[in-house]
Amino acid sequence: MCGIAGILNLSATTPPSRDALEFMAGALEHRGPDEFGLYLDRHCGLAHSRLSIIDLSTGQQPLSNEDGTLWISFNGEIFNYVELRAELEALGHRFRTKSDTEVIVHAWEAWGEAAFERMNGQWAVALWDEKTRTFVLTRDRVGVRPLFMLEHEGRLFFASEVKSLFAGAPTFSREIDPVGLDETFTFWTVVPPQSVFKGVRELEPGHVAVWRDGKFVHDVAYWSAKYPVGAEHRFNGTLDDATQALAGALENATKLRMVRADVPVGSYLSGGLDSSLVAAMAARAKPSGFKTFSLRFADAEYDETPYQRAMVQRLGTEHAEVVVSRKDIADVFPKVIRHTERPILRTAPAPLFLLSKLVHDSGIKVVLTGEGSDEMLAGYDLFREARVRRFWARQPDSKWRHKLLERLYPYLTRSPVSQQALTRQFFGRGLERAKLPGFSHETRWNGTAALKRLFAPDVTAALTGFDARGKLLSSLPADFAKWNFLAQDQYLEVRTLLSGYLLSSQGDRMLMGNSVEGRFPFLDREVMALANSLPASYKLKALDEKHVLKRVARGLVTDEILKRPKQPYRAPDALSFIGAERPAWVDECMSEAALKASGLFAPGPVGALWRKCLTRSNDEQFSNTDNMAVVGILSAQLVHQQLVRETPSTKRPPLKTVVIK
């Protein structure tokens, strides 16, 4: 795991600057503190910061083919690299290292853009073929590894993180893009290629972009999710067959992620079904000395300790825990936002940043997590809510259909269902649109978008005519309307929240912020293909979420975990920032001066919100709206402060590999 960066000349005629490349690599030190390297010729420069995991002795980058004409800078893992290597050797390719990196180089030579569909892994890759002056950027299927770019003064800059782009192009005009802010305050994240910075794009997951002779050729999807259309892409077996197939695919995915590493691999253990199952399967692959890591909360409402400990006891792992308080969240939050590089509406990433620090301090570089299961196998309440609302929409005047919603939200201490008629009003909105794309997400998107009333008048004016939902819903795959409703809902969830938030703000960034790589068995190529092919009823059986996965997990996780209602991972939000002992930066961010300086939010309404929050006591619940507002404003203010206003890094890393042509 690593950081990648580089510069490609488009219309510029002088070679890319070596200083710029060094600054770009230096800004990525947290992603790869072990070794640094760069490659530079007249047209292209590649930089790399390495976290050594596979082929520790010879896996340095940038790396080339045999004759030194094709160069790569790569962040990630190709889990089937051993199998691909054998195929390539049979085709006559010779290898100098034992790394997965070199496999990508030869795969590109052998198969071109078709190479990426063959790869099972998580990656961000830059390839430079100096003979044909072809430049390639590509990213894994769902966006586990990040990749950003901007164009400035006739050059394309690309990097794993935006701070590295800005370090390479310090004269680039850094500004928050109102469109990125609008998407964040609608979907809870920007949707790639959109970013929160003007002129900065994120390469879409599952895409490959190509330039030749400094000219853009195309940016296309080499992969897209396939859900059943008629008999096509459809799993034809029984539920038992599906259980068996999923168990096999998950076992294999977990094992691959355990053995394809030259350093020890540990696992997160949240106390929920997904990470417990992953840890159980991993522990089989490593019967002794397997390490697990758990997050505990000082606030009982969020804590899952008993479930975690029961699983630890069952597996006999070497276990470590970190207990997180509200104050911890407030203290670490500015650092967290330095890594997310985008506003967030929940504090949930912050505890995970503290957890990855525990992993790092325990000497572990790689952890497995259960992320992706809820999207692939339908674990979220949102899917159940959409099913109930569609069922209700068939008889909108029904006196009892909406009462099924009461089954959905038992964990909220103040559920909307405590007020029946209001529930009808809240969830019954737009029932006439039950068959239209986006229906599943309307409750969430409407509630979030209402917060746009906090935007500064200039931001609102800049957004005149912009419609975030319209933009997303007009870019759906051609087959979308032919998929069953659950598949449609899953697709939207993957496209928005999984890629843009869970895998980035709450995933890669929180892990790599402490130089730890996450691996995601549920996002394995074969697991995703199988999960997407399953009939909706295997995943969401009536209102039983992840039905087929629970069958897989029988006997592998404790009965308590199997039977417990799903508890979404959450952390204290606004409550983290209102206590008397809150750090000084909080009030600074909320001050009129700071709000005017960023120009993002209207000081009047924000002042009203903040005064309201400060008059609340520490054990009062905040509404979902207030929670999102506080966290969204604070994080956006920090993004502005840390990435827009601050001068970019000019840190130079110690270089190990330098190739100058």
- Given the rule CB under 8 A, which residues bind other proteins? 414-416, 419, 421-426, 429, 446-447, 449-451, 453-454, 602, 604-606, 608-609, 611-612, 621-625, 629
Residue 157 Cβ, how far from other proteins at the closest point, in Å?
37
Packing angle of the helix pair 485-493, 381-393 (nearest 10 deg): 140
Which residue number, 51 or 606, has a Cβ lying nearer to other proteins? 606
In this complex, which beta carbon is closest to other proteins, that of residue 42 or of residue 433? Answer: 433
- Inter-residue contact 161 to 27 (CB < 8 Å): yes
Say if CB 216 and CB 11 are below 8 A apart. Answer: no
Check: CB of residue 409 under 8 Å from CB of residue 422.
Answer: no
CB nearer other proteins, residue 212 or residue 596: 596
Distance of alpha carbon 566 from alpha carbon 270, whole angstroms: 12
The letter for the amino acid at 56 is L
Distances in Å between the alpha carbon of 238 and those of 241, 313, 490, 526?
5, 34, 22, 19
CA distances 235 to 231, 483, 598, Å, are 9, 14, 52
How far is the C-alpha of 619 from the C-alpha of 610, rounded, in Å?
17
Of 94 and 611, nearer to other proteins (C-beta) is 611
Q: Least distance to other proteins from the beta carbon of 182, Å? A: 14
Burial class (CB within 10 angstroms; exposed 0-12, middle 13-18, buried 19+) of 251: middle
320 or 449: CB nearest other proteins:
449
Q: How far is the CB of 446 from other proteins (least distance, A)?
A: 6
Closest separation between CB of residue 413 and other proteins, Å?
A: 10
Q: Output the smallest distance, CB 488 to other proteins, in A.
A: 24
Determine the 3-state secondary structure of 654 from DSSP.
Answer: coil
Phi, psi angles (nearest 5°) of residue 464: -55, 125
Closest to 505 in 3D by CA, of 302, 352, 295:
352
- Rounded to an integer, what distance in angstroms lies between the CA atom of residue 321 and that of residue 577? 24
- Judged by beta carbon, residue 23 or residue 601, the one nearer other proteins is 601
Q: Is 469 helix (H, G, I), strand (E, B) or coil?
A: helix
- Interhelix angle 624-639/326-340, rounded to 10 degrees, is 50
- Choose between 433 and 652: whose C-beta lies nearer to other proteins: 433
- Here the tokens at position 448 are 């979030």
d(CA 37, CA 47): 6
Q: Are strands 44-50 and 35-40 parallel, antiparallel or unpaired?
A: antiparallel
Task: Indicate the residue among 264 and 428 with the shorter CB distance to other proteins.
Answer: 428
Q: Are 454 and 608 in contact (CB under 8 A)?
A: no
Distance CA 152, CA 169 (A): 7
Minimum CB separation of residue 456 from other proteins in Å reads: 9
Residues 6+ apart with CB under 8 A from 350: 324, 328, 329, 332, 333, 336, 571, 576
What single letter denotes the amino acid at residue 286?
A: K
Q: Smallest distance, Å, CB 197 to other proteins?
A: 25
Least Cβ distance, residue 602 to other proteins (angstroms): 5
CB of 601 to other proteins, least distance (A): 9
We find the least distance from the C-beta atom of residue 610 to other proteins, in angstroms, to be: 9
- Report the residue number, 446 or 537, with the smaller CB distance to other proteins: 446
**116 and 80 Cβ atoms separated by less than 8 Å:** no
- Give the burial string for 88-104 (b: 16+ CB within 10 Å, else e): beeeebeeebbbbbbbb
Other Cβ atoms less than 10 A from the Cβ of 350: the count is 27
Of 446 and 591, the one with the shorter C-beta distance to other proteins is 446
Closest approach of Cβ 47 to other proteins, in Å? 44
Element (DSSP H or E) covering residue 40:
strand 35-40
Q: Minimum distance between the CB of residue 439 and other proteins, rounded to whole angstroms? A: 16
To other proteins, the closest distance from the beta carbon of 615 in angstroms equals 10
Q: Which helix (H) or strand (E) holds 393?
A: helix 381-393
CB 466 to other proteins: min, Å:
18
Starting from the edge strand earliest in sequence, which strands make up the sheet with 207-212, in order?
Answer: 63-64, 70-78, 121-129, 134-139, 207-212, 215-221
Residue 341 CA neighbour count, 13 Å, CB half: 28
What are the tokens at 101?
Answer: 């990196």
Scan for tokens 């930066």, then name that residue: 585
Q: If residue 163 lies in a helix (H) or strand (E), which one and from where to where? A: helix 162-168
Q: What is the CB neighbour count within 10 angstroms for residue 660?
A: 10
Shortest distance in whole angstroms from residue 424 CB to other proteins: 8
Are the C-beta atoms of 521 and 530 separated by less than 8 Å?
no
Q: In angstroms, what is the minimal distance from the CB of 506 to other proteins? A: 23
What's the DSSP call for residue 345?
S
